[in-house]
Amino acid sequence: MGDIAINGPRVLFEIPILGGLPITETMRNAWIVMLFILCLCLFLTSRMEKVPKGKQAIAEKAVQMIDNLVDGTMGPGCRGFSPYIATLLMFSFCGSLASLFFMRPVTGDLNTTLGWALITFVLIIVNNIKYKGVGGYLKGFLQPIFVMAPLNVLSEVATPVSMSFRHFGNIAGGLVITTLLLAALKALSGFVLGFLPVPLLQIGIPGVLSLYFDVFTSAMQAFIFSMLTMSYVGNARSAD
């Protein structure tokens, strides 16, 4: 298994501006995922009727589920965040499932998950200031006693870091494990069934594991990231 190579996203080309702007496969795959989501939304919302049926009923049910999730997690009056939460869920899930189509998962790049986490972090700060005022927000760092201020500041800054690394680590970890497993099965197939022209042991077993690493983990991480976003922003809107 000496030919194993686990690297970050490849740089496809560079745009000659600002000293060279690298375009990676993560960026390319992200645009493919966004195009897929756009086409899916256009398909589900085309030719809408007063009485929903078929694909329109599916779309309206999905919207209702997101609204109910936001209401139950963030509280009443927060449905304005539903489009953002729906975007996180769809982009995260579809971006992680890109590996099923022989593309590097979008969420397997820390830049992606960190970008989402920073957007959530900005929402947390904005809502804290909006509902508690600048003074109230800064006063919160002195709770329960003023000597806790450094730890409270560190905890606040650690929020986007922990969110991004949790999501990225699970997807990237699955990518590494799958790569090592395929290499091990190839080597084992060559050792046990060397007389066959194809690595027979690579057939079937990776597909079963893919149901966990690619589907279950993708769904769970998308849900967890979205739930954390709603929880943090919802708490920031609290006047307590």
Q: What is the DSSP letter of 80?
A: G
Q: Which of 213, 180, 183 is nearest to 199 (CA)?
A: 183
Alpha helices in the chain, H assignment, sequence order: 25-44, 55-74, 82-96, 110-140, 149-192, 205-210, 217-237
Q: Evaluate if residue 237 carries a pLDDT over 70.
A: yes
Name which of 219, 114, 222, 234 is nearest 162 in CA terms.
114
| Mean predicted lDDT score pLDDT of the chain | 84
Confidence category of residue 13, pLDDT binned at 50, 70, 90: confident
For residues 182 and 205, is the Cβ–Cβ distance under 8 A? no
Is pLDDT at 190 greater than 80 in this prediction?
no
- Confidence band, pLDDT 50/70/90 cuts, at residue 194: low
Q: How confident is the model over 43-69, as pLDDT tens digits?
A: 988 888 887 788 888 899 999 999 999
Q: At what angle do helices 149-192 and 110-140 cross, to 10 degrees?
A: 160
The tens digit of pLDDT for each residue in 64-115 reads 999 999 999 998 888 999 999 999 999 999 999 888 887 889 998 999 999 9
Q: CB–CB of 108/97 below 8 Å?
A: no
Give the pLDDT confidence of 128-164 residue by residue, as tens digits. 999 888 988 888 888 888 888 889 899 889 999 999 9
The three-class DSSP label of residue 3 is: coil
Quote the pLDDT of residue 1. Answer: 46
- Which residue in this structure is represented by tokens 């990776």? 206
Rounded to an integer, what distance in angstroms lies between the CA atom of residue 155 and that of residue 141?
10
